[in-house]
Structure 1
């Protein structure tokens, strides 16, 4: 299916999408590997995970603001009714999760009295220490992270389905450059 320029997302939306995809992948991989790390290595990687997680949170806010102020391109008329019906709620779940999971992550380490060290500067703990609250948020963060990983996998599977099976042009809407 040939794409028209108006059927593609704009450059800002594409940049935010792919930057968030890279960051979420990195944060997820690091988080999934924590149990394999010794204590000292884990402390370094937890800080990197936290820094990248905060970057995801900032970008999530930016992405939500961009999405609310810039209408996405309409779906092609050839898209199946069921896909058309599920697309909006599916993307809404992703947006909620890309905001909620790093927000819950921040609520796991700030109540522990830990700063986030970006090397050039630190973000001090933004809350009064409350380890019990931090532990409860950690559990929610982990559950949310697994749900987000599942939702991202489903999103990727659907994108590949559109590209390789349906060949309906949906995949190319979020890819920079010419249509693929």
Structure 2
């Protein structure tokens, strides 16, 4: 069983992913972690990124300068597409490699921040689970955990699918608003017992 897990920045998607592992014994494939590994010092994508974008987008230790690339991508869609053309095939190959490590009867959860936006994930999955919350909550959570300004967080949200678009693509939605961690985990446990995860 292949489940796609997605949600906007600050929605609590990663917390739900960990709950699926802890409570349901899921095998987690985190596409964001794969992307970070590809763009860290010595990452497989770094030679192509340096060649395409130049040394100004590489940190002194050899990683992708994420702040510089984020700024460029927001203002130049062609740059964003060029970066995706480098990363997406590598992410896809590593995603499949990691998925094959799951046990035969194990639930495989693909944590994909841009699942709805990519347009190519739905046919690879049997179900899609969306973690949702109010936009004001997203902004507050991201500001609390990062050095990003409110304007920067709003810009990221504007680049992502809308809440309505994600909910429309969902087989199930966890509304992570105004609940504590124990309640969120209880919702995940309830879903694991329900029809969403049955073949």
- Specify if TM > 0.5: no
More strand per residue: 1 or 2? 2
Which protein has greater RCO, CA pairs closer than 8 Å, 6+ apart?
2
Query: Normalization by structure 2: what TM-score?
Result: 0.26
TM-score (norm 1): 0.28
- Bigger radius of gyration: 1
